Amino acid sequence: MKIKVGFGYDVHKLGEGEELWIGGIKVEHTKGSIGHSDGDVLIHAICDALLGAANMRDIGFHFPDTDPNLKGIDSKILLSKTMLLLREAGYEVGNIDSTIALERPKLKPHIPKMQEVLARVMAIDQEDIAIKATTTEKLGFVGTQQGIAAYATVLIQKNK
């Protein structure tokens, strides 16, 4: 069995009146992510981690923000397509460990639903997806509520 690890990071600017999509669910808030797609930083970080672990470049290579067909796309579709690429190369997900950095709103009550949605989209066990949330103690662009960031580490395996 071949085991690989990948790391992903994404950041989006927050804007008034935009929708806030995180982990495949809409979170009610006065600000939301600004992006070419729906701006789901968690899914984007997970996609980057998966693609990196499999040495398949990154999310921007496969789903460029210059593609007008991807404007406003649901990031769950990007994750589903990433999983197809991974499985076509013979890989399966072992587990995901992720962290979302956002000052407000508090995400703890939303994490179980995020895990449920991501597990369904990826066709993996919910227990294999860890999601943590943190603030930056009012420091930096996250702390001043100008943006949101997400980090993801993944383990993938290939049976030889």
Tell me which residue of 11, 64, 53 sits closest to 33, measured CA to CA: 11
Binding residues for a divalent metal cation: 10, 12, 44
Q: For residues 83-96, b (16+ Cβ closer than 10 Å) or e, as one string?
A: beebeeeebebbeb
Task: Report how far residue 105's alpha carbon sits from residue 91's, in angstroms, rounded to the nearest whole number.
Answer: 35
Residues in the chain: 160
Task: Report how far residue 71's alpha carbon sits from residue 114's, in angstroms, rounded to the nearest whole number.
Answer: 23
Binding residues: 10-12, 36-37, 44, 58-60, 63-67, 134-137, 141
